[in-house]
Structure 1
Amino acid sequence: MDEDLKKAFEKSKSGTKDEQYEAYLDILEITDQEVDWAYEVWDQLLEDLSHTDNHQRSRAAQYLANLAAKSDPENRMVTDFPQLWEVTKDKRFVTARHSLQAIWKVGLAGEAQKQLVMDAMVDRFENGTEEKNYTLIRSDILQNMKQLYEHLEDESIKNEAMRLIELVDDPKYKKKYQKIWN
């Protein structure tokens, strides 16, 4: 990892709000490609998933999702996924939502990772109706499935999404969810 990137990681934690945001965007862009330094920051990012600052938790989750998608040749995410998934249930809804919206990328890494992501999302869709804002969470889950489907062209993902939509009783939300896939 070069010095500029090390500084970006530092700024994403301790810079001014503008510096943090700029560093965050830079890191997301860089980690959207394969990198050879993922494991230099991996353990720190795992630790940051439980940081006291919700912004750090959110950023760590998003960075890890990006790194897992393209830069995890040791398949560490297969073991670390439960820690990442926990952030999608963060007490701060914006943190949870940003983390959830990025989680689909983990599924790009391979069959085992795709299955982890799909199983977690399906379970939450089916059993998460007691959660606050569950209709938004369901919408994000279906959007994640759509993203995975578009990248992997795996019909089983689309079929599962259609099955989940059929479980929805409220016609307003059923229509909203179907629109994601149209």
Structure 2
Amino acid sequence: MNEEMKRYFEELESKDKTSQYEAYQHIMAETEQEVDWAYEVWDDLKADLTHKDAHRRSRAAQFLAQLAISDPENRMLHDFPDVWEVTFDSKFVTARHSLQAIWRVGLAGPEHKQLVMDHLTNRFENCQDEKNYTLIRFDIMEGMRSLYDYLEDPEIKRTALDLIEKEQDAKYRKKYASVW
């Protein structure tokens, strides 16, 4: 990892919120492409998934989701349940940010894509008892759409449209369909 990236990870711990946010933005941008330093931060990020600080949990889940494409050892296949758990975080904003990022794991390969799609599908079908479940479902649709846009896999679209059809409320069915 180069010195600039090290500095960004250090800045995440800054007392200055602007510095933290700028560092976060740089890391997110850098990890949109494959990087060769994923394992230098992987274990620390995995540990942060259960950190007492909700910001650290959120960032860790988002960064790990981004780093899945930089994981030739396929650690994510083993670590996915820990990342997925953050999508149920007690802090809704933490859970939501994690859920909005989780689709990126599916870019790492066919097995990853299936893992993500299975979890998103199950969550869509079974989240009605969760607080803000309509937002959760909308985020799931957006995640599936993003995955579809990258992979152009018609099965992703078919799955999403099938889920939308299961929505009983016409207002929300229309909202979810608007993503597609």
Aligned 8 A contact 1:50 1:57 in 2: yes
Aligned 8 A contact 1:11 1:20 in 2: yes
Counterpart-to-counterpart distance in 2, 1:180 and 1:119: 19
Aligned 8 A contact 1:100 1:140 in 2: yes
**Could you say which residue in structure 1 is the equivalent of 2:162?**
163
**Could you say which residue in structure 2 is the equivalent of 1:134?**
133
**Letter of the structure 2 residue corresponding to residue 176 of structure 1:** K
Aligned 8 A contact 1:58 1:99 in 2: yes
Aligned 8 A contact 1:13 1:56 in 2: no
CA offsets per residue over residues 98-156 of structure 1, 9 Å max, x none?
A: 11000000000001100110011000100110000000000000111111111111111
Aligned 8 A contact 1:8 1:26 in 2: yes
**Letter of the structure 2 residue corresponding to residue 63 of structure 1:** F
**Letter of the structure 1 residue corresponding to residue 110 of structure 2:** E
Aligned counterparts, 1:49-68, within 5 A = 49-68=49-68
SS at match of 2:11: helix
Query: Displacement, 1:177?
Result: 0.8
**Could you say which residue in structure 2 is the equivalent of 1:88?**
87
Counterpart-to-counterpart distance in 1, 2:51 and 2:82: 12
**Letter of the structure 1 residue corresponding to residue 95 of structure 2:** A
Aligned counterparts, 1:1-182, within 5 A = 1-68=1-68, 70-181=69-180
Segments of 4+ moved more than 4 angstroms = none
Query: Displacement, 1:16?
Result: 1.1
CA RMSD, Structure 1 to Structure 2 (Å):
0.8
**Letter of the structure 2 residue corresponding to residue 126 of structure 1:** E
Number of residue-to-residue matches in the alignment: 180
Query: Displacement, 1:7?
Result: 1.5
Counterpart-to-counterpart distance in 2, 1:13 and 1:149: 35
Counterpart-to-counterpart distance in 2, 1:153 and 1:4: 34
SS at match of 2:131: coil
Compute the TM-score of the two structures, normalised by the length of structure 2.
0.98
Q: Percent identity?
A: 62
Unaligned runs of 5+ residues in structure 2 are: none
Counterpart-to-counterpart distance in 2, 1:176 and 1:51: 34
Counterpart-to-counterpart distance in 1, 2:26 and 2:174: 37
Q: Report which stretch shifted further, 14-23 or 155-164.
A: 14-23
Compute the TM-score of the two structures, normalised by the length of structure 1.
0.97
SS at match of 2:64: helix
SS at match of 1:57: helix
